[in-house]
Structure 1
Amino acid sequence: MTKNEVGEVRPGQLITTFGPGAIMDAVKDSLVILDISYWRNNLADIEDERLGAFLGKEKFKKIPTRGFRDLPAIPFPNYHICSNTSCRRLFDLSKNFDIEVYLKYGPICLECSSDKDRAFKAYPSRFVVSCDSGNHLDDFPWHWWVHKKSGNLECNSKLKLSSSGNNSGLSSISVTCETCGEWNHMGGAMQRESFTEYPHKCEGNHPHLLNKKEGCNGEIVPLQRGASNVYFPALRSAISIPIENKNSKRIEDLKLEIFLEIGDDLENLIGEFEEKDKAFDFYYRLHKKKLIGIESGQDLASSWDEYKRNKNTHINVPNYNKIKEMEYEVLTDINKAIKDDNIFKGEEVTVPNDLSKYFSRIIKAHRLKEILVLLGFSRNDSPEPETKNPTNIVRLGDNQTNWLPAVEIIGEGIFIEFNKETISQWLEENVILQVQSKKYNELYNDYIFKKGWTEQTKKDAIYVMLHTFSHLLMKQFSLQCGYSSSAIKERIYYSENMAGILIYTGSTDQEGSLGGLVEMGEVDNLRKAIIEALDEARFCSNDPSCSTQIPSEDNYINGVSCFACTMLPETSCEVANMLLDRSLVVKTMDSKYSPYFKGLY
């Protein structure tokens, strides 16, 4: 029997890079992983009450790494090119598709040879199209492109793709119709203006839904298969810290995990009986052994009713910032966390006198767990952050799906709470800074308004200062603690009641930690790292150009900031390298106000 496997992907990649709807390059072909509604029902559960309550989901499920690890996928794009230089046939693989041949040989061209063992391999086309409204994805309209000059759109014959090699641009690639002789080069194939005359518009195709077409008529957006704007994951995360609450005993007594497992089956069974009590009695007799702590059908009925009343209601999470407030509450008082070293283990460090003006608390997180959940995806532009229901994304599953795919990231980190009195004093003493603070918030509000997003948290000068300091410290840590800058992540805690940062290991494929980051939380190590980070930030290799920048939308709402001094890999940053300004942290060449850390470096 042919092994039904066409590629491999790590669990972390499946959440962040190659989730359902993304194009993934495998060994023999490029693939699209199907929607979670097509996945096997063999995935282990991940529980996080706060994130579940916020997203309205009963549970999250791990990407399978043991047992049945298969996830369904289909080849995409459908159009492939023969690798035989004397053939170069451009053909639709989905027509006359033979799964057995595909699994054994991969995509091959049968125009060159009828002998499958000697047939030339075919590779997927690099050109695809999306649209400007529905995040759809479809094959490039090859037949229209080759005949667009003549208007002979009824010709639907064999095509050939070749390259002249005259230059390295797309204009050296041409597609030819072998019947009518029409041809067209690919120069301009990546420009939207080239498709204004395309008669069909977008057909609403979703490859991850088995090429289901829902109708769209949006304007065509040409893309290259490997481009980063083909797929943007919509992610939500939470630091999993077990917290004591008055409902925890009740939820445990009800055996929440049992009802999460049997809930769907029990609901279906109840619908088949005229009397609910008989349904519970029948189910209890049938599954008595696994209903631990339940003594009878009547007991099952009362426990089920109690579970239904309290499911996802014992915790109220109206917005994403509420999750951060819960985390902040525990990080600033680690005694509130339930003692579970497998999930969270924290240690408070005494803040030295020379740092107490700026910081009020330092916590070394020897072990912490982040839950990273995939809601869906967007194309062409990044999805709306933080909100429960981001606009203009393709959501995974359907209205009946009560789970989402997720990964658990085990790592370590350092939490630093800023001195709120010093922050207030800093703002009061800098009148110009107060004006700058309003400007940052107005620019951010204008930015999200143009995108059609909803405001979640205030983004003023204090947030920018916290965010910039976090980046500077992360860059310094990456030089000393053994982690690359892309493996370290940040979490900014800011509101009327919060002012702090969490810097932690963020590799989705890492189990455990190396210990290097939490070691930087020792007073002597942290003091040295902070002072060196601030000293480095005073000057930038792009000065004076960098130091004279002012916050603007053209500069992604950044002030004195660039890739040479403050920016990090976007996977490490909360807001995609926006809202950064080192003049708020240290004195620069063109500073107009006192920085927060005046007197420390």
Structure 2
Amino acid sequence: MTDDDATQMIFESAQPLDPLADSEQSNVKNRAKVGSARPSSLLYTYGVGSIMDLPQFSIMPAGLDDWEPIWRRRPTVPTIEEPRLLKVVQLHLGSRVQQLRPFPWQPKARAMSQEGSDLGIPARVFPQWLRCTGCDYLGPLSRFSYTNTHPFRPDLATFEHASCPGRTFAGAAKGKAKDPAKGQARRSPAVPARYLLACANGHLDEFPYALWVHRGRTCPAAPHPDLKLRDSNIGQGAGAVITCERCQQRRGMGEAQGEAGKRKLPTCRGRHPHLNAFDPKCGLDTSLMMMGASNLWFASTQSIIVMPRSEEQKQTALATNLRTYLTPEELADYAALPKMLRSLLAAHKCDIAGVTDEQLTAAVAEALAPPPSEEERRERLRDWDPVELLVPEWNYLQNPSLFAQQQDASGLMVTEMPTAAELPKQVHRVIAVNRMKKVNAVIGFTRIDEMDRVNDLASRLVKLTRDGRPTWVPATEDRGEGVFLQLDENAVSAWEAQILPTALWRAHRGAHRHNFSRRFSATAAQINPDTRFPAPRYWLIHTLAHILIRQMAMSCGYGAASLSERLYAWPATPDRPAAAGLLICTTASDSEGTLGGLVALSQPERLHGLLLDALRRAGRCSSDPVCGQRTPRHGEDFLHGAACHCCCFASETSCERANRFLDRRFLLTLPSIDDERVPGFFGTIDVY
């Protein structure tokens, strides 16, 4: 990956400013640019509030308030128009959100050209306590010097200890050894001190090293003593020891670990380092966190596949544009003057070709309509089900007559494919998704425990702006291709009725209840865990998607981590019919499409062999019989059965549920030591 394919990360001081402009006003070149990242990683791995490791130090992408100086460097701000997704974002964050914006990036015409060099994502250095690699000195950022002068090598940016004396060897005091660098000041690179404090409300803070080593008191010898962090056991946190150079007190970091260590840590101060702000009166217990911990940051995103818009959605999109380009006063004054509205919109380069005066007037009325009250929004959010995002996509795929009316603006092109006679009869339909566009939006993030696992109180979602009321959120547009498989609903319903009374299903439900009760989020106790437990058909379709991803990766030309699943699996309710299908797709946010290798697998002669090979591979695992007979018992709370890394697990970029709710026994009838043999949906299959 080159910088041309990525959004650059730019260093920002503690105060809100335009770091690129600050750099231009100084004589030091390239001070601001410290790295780059792909849009997908900024969405799911290194978004706002996360910690991104650079070669020499680590940074945290700043909140959306600090992005505004970057956007002001352009006369107009680009937006992504997708009314269906915007409504969901407004449901979660409030009606003030009016835009989905891409990351501030611009492609370059040539490798060394300057297009887009004035754009980037502001970021703060975090943690701001560093350790010198030459003498183990531990201190705040202000004690180290920053160097970043090479115009084309932001990876050389580093913090250095300018007067590092080097390490003193243990025998030097007794004359047995001498420090070869003693008395010679040198510049040694500094690395982040890796200990942090976090709470379940999403706050993150530096570890209080000085208070820790002095057991909550001040140093008796100096108000701000020098500290050293020595790691006597490389790679293990328990081996690190903090030492005060003035009073010689020492304390190991191992004391801060575990439940006993929690009682020795201070309560949360409510710090949000990505906002350079504090929330008042948090007071929750804190937990010791390590840089790079998997539970330090969980993205909370919503995504949809763009479908051809209905007339109602077109009107909503136009109303959004009206609110973006015109003030409420202008809308009210010219509501009955379509010609004047067209002139104003043309001045803002808003394309309304093909919009009639009646449609424009209706859009104005919608734009002027008062938003729902906060109480109404919260009530709707309590009743909201993420499945609502999938229902329009499922309904569209059930109507082949609509495929001929596809619109280029949606970026969707699908073709119903014939099925081979040899294809298992349980597969009802196959659809080739020749082109598709997926839009993803960030609504926040959580720490310690991810939001989607509990889907509890919205207060757990960490805010993206200082006032917690953003007017826009970052989003990406991914383009790609895929293959959609629909299972026979009658066969799925009949099989599901057989699974519900089995001992295996009862064991999985009990494990889920136990797992739910052990969630870090205190609000998990307020939710009935059974309402979050997927139906058997979800386990079936999820497992089928995983074995297909593993098999397709061998034939389509894409790596398994580049393929992702989108599952349509829910039983019938009074509001919506049942669904049983899956979409395996690949998308990319920094290209105009993909190569066609995946959609080619929908051809009848290829899909038949691919599906049979995938089922045969799922019939055995190198970890059998342990894997094939894995059932949660005696208080165990793992959320999978006969599935492991050898047979079913996929990468985190592929799976929408982090490799939970998988069991090969729902897919195929496997040998079992249990009294009750679970019927597999595809029955038995020859394994060779």
Shorter chain as normaliser: what TM range? Answer: 0.7 to 0.9
Structure 2 distance, partners of 1:58, 1:239, is 20
Change (3 A) 1:101 1:532: closer
Change (3 A) 1:418 1:194: same
* 1:65 alignment partner AA: W
Q: Distance in 2 between matches of 1:284 and 1:363?
A: 41
The aligned residue for residue 36 of structure 1 is 64
| Matched residue, 1:289 | 347
Aligned-residue CA RMSD (Å): 3.9
Deviation at 1:458, TM superposition (A): 5.9
**C-alpha distance in 1, partners of 2:361/2:311?**
23
Matched residues in 1 for 2:611 and 2:296: separation?
39
Give the match's secondary structure for 2:554: helix
Shift of 1:309: 3.4
> 1:34-113, aligned counterparts within 5 Å?
34-40=62-68, 41=71, 43-56=77-90, 57-66=97-106, 67=116, 68-85=118-135, 88-94=136-142, 106-112=158-164
1:426 deviates by 2.9
Query: Aligned pair 1:11/2:24, yes or no?
Result: no
Letter aligned with residue 544 of structure 1: P
2:473 maps to which of 382, 404, 426: 404
Q: Give yes or no for contact 2:144–2:162 (8 Å, CA) kept in 1.
A: no
- Structure 1 residues 454 and 32: alpha-carbon distance in aligned structure 2, compared to 1, 3 A threshold: farther
Partner of 1:501, secondary structure, is strand
Q: Higher mean Cα deviation, 500-509 or 529-538?
A: 500-509
Task: Please give the per-residue CA displacement for 1:486-506, whole angstroms capped at 9, x wherever unaligned.
Answer: 111111112222111111115
Matched, 1:122 2:194: no
Residue equivalent to 1:24: 52
The corresponding residue for 2:201 is: 134
Partner residue, 2:486: 417
In 2, the alpha carbon distance for the partners of 1:411 and 1:285 equals 37
Residue of structure 2 in register with 1:222 after alignment? 288
Q: What CA deviation, in whole Å up to 9, does each residue of 1:234-269 have, x standing for no partner?
A: 1211111223x23256457xx446414324xx14x6
C-alpha deviations, 1:480-525, integer Å up to 9, x for none?
2122221111111122221111111155555411211111111111
Q: Structure 1 residues 14 and 217, CA, compared in 2 at 3 Å: closer, same or farther?
A: same
Contact 2:568/2:580 (8 A) holds in 1: yes
Q: 1:195 to 1:500 in 2, by over 3 A?
A: closer
The alpha-carbon distance between structure 1 residues 466 and 100, as it changes in their structure 2 partners (threshold 3 A), is closer
1:344-493 map, 5 Å: 344-355=412-423, 357-384=425-452, 390=458, 392-397=460-465, 398=467, 400-427=469-496, 430=498, 436-437=504-505, 440=508, 444=512, 447-448=515-516, 451=519, 452=524, 459-493=534-568
Q: For residue 559 of structure 1, what is the aligned residue in structure 2?
A: 641
Q: Distance in 1 between matches of 2:367 and 2:434?
A: 35
Q: CA deviation at 1:418?
A: 0.6
The offset of 1:144, in angstroms, is 1.7
- State the secondary structure of the residue aligned to 2:567: strand
Q: Are the equivalent residues in 2 in contact too, given 1:159–1:175 (CA < 8 A)?
A: no
Q: Measured at CA, do residues 527 and 300 of structure 1 come closer, stay the same or move farther in structure 2, by a change above 3 Å?
A: closer
| Separation in structure 1 between the aligned mates of residue 568 and residue 473 of structure 2, nearest angstrom | 25
Contact kept, 8 Å, 2:147 with 2:157, in 1: the verdict is no
Q: Residue 437 of structure 2 contacts residue 478 of structure 2 at CA under 8 Å; is this kept in 1?
A: yes
Whether the 8 Å contact between 2:302 and 2:442 is mirrored in structure 1 is yes
What is the CA–CA distance in structure 1 between the aligned matches of 2:532 and 2:344, rounded to whole Å? 51
- Matching residue's letter, 2:80: I
Cα displacement string for residues 247-296 of structure 1 (whole angstroms, at most 9, x for unaligned residues): 256457xx446414324xx14x679xxx9579x9999998773377699x
SS at match of 1:7: strand
2:250 match: 183
- Deviation sequence 1:276-332 (CA, Å, 0-9, x none): 579x9999998773377699xxx99986334333999xxx99532122110001122
Q: Deviations over 1:523-574 (max 9, x none)?
A: 1111111111111111111111112222567352322222221111133112
| 1:233–1:374 contact (8 Å) kept in structure 2 | yes
> For residues 505 and 297 of structure 2, what CA distance do their matches in structure 1 show?
34
List runs of 5+ in structure 2 lacking aligned partners. Answer: 1-25, 91-96, 107-115, 166-184, 373-379, 573-577
Is residue 246 from structure 1 mapped to residue 311 from structure 2 by the alignment?
yes
Deviates more, 1:519-528 or 1:445-454: 445-454
In structure 1, what is the Cα distance between the partners aligned to 2:234 and 2:53?
A: 26
Give the letter aligned to residue 424 of structure 1. Answer: S
Deviation at residue 106 of structure 1 after TM alignment: 4.0
Cα separation, 1, equivalents of 2:313 and 2:262: 58
Query: Structure 1 residues 112 and 383 mapped into 2: Cα distance closer, same or farther (>3 Å)?
Result: same
Deviates more, 1:338-347 or 1:12-21: 338-347
Residue among 582, 586, 593 paired with 2:678: 593
**CA shift digits 1:410-442 (9 cap, x unpaired):** 1111111110122233345x3775565566556
Distance 1:277 1:546, change over 3 A: closer
How far is 1:197 from its partner? 3.1
> Bigger CA drift: 16-25 or 559-568?
559-568
TM-score (norm 2): 0.75
The one-letter code matched in structure 1 to 2:407 is D
SS at 2:100 equivalent: strand
Return the alpha-carbon distance in structure 2 between the equivalents of residues 251 and 76 of structure 1: 41
- The one-letter amino acid of 2:46's match is F
Q: Percent identity?
A: 25
Q: Cα–Cα, structure 1 residues 599 and 377, in superposed 2: closer, same or farther, change >3 Å?
A: same
Instruction: Confirm or deny: 8 A CA contact 2:146 2:160 kept in the other structure.
Output: no
**DSSP-derived class of the 2:369 partner:** helix
SS of aligned partner of 2:212: helix
- Please give the alpha-carbon distance, in whole angstroms, between the structure 2 residues aligned to 1:341 and 1:373: 22
Residues in 2 aligned to 1:436 and 1:164: alpha-carbon distance in whole angstroms:
47
* Alpha-carbon shift at residue 445 of structure 1 (Å): 5.9
Matched, 1:512 2:581: no
Unaligned runs of 5+ in 1: none
Q: Give 1:168 shift.
A: 5.3
Contact 2:143-2:161 within 8 A present in 1 as well: no
TM value normalised by structure 1: 0.85
Q: In the alignment, what sits opposite 1:527?
A: 608
CA contact (8 A) 2:669 2:684 kept: no
Structure 2 partner of 1:572: 654
- In structure 2, C-alpha distance between the alignment counterparts of 1:303 and 1:150, rounded to whole Å: 64
**3-state DSSP of counterpart to 1:72:** strand
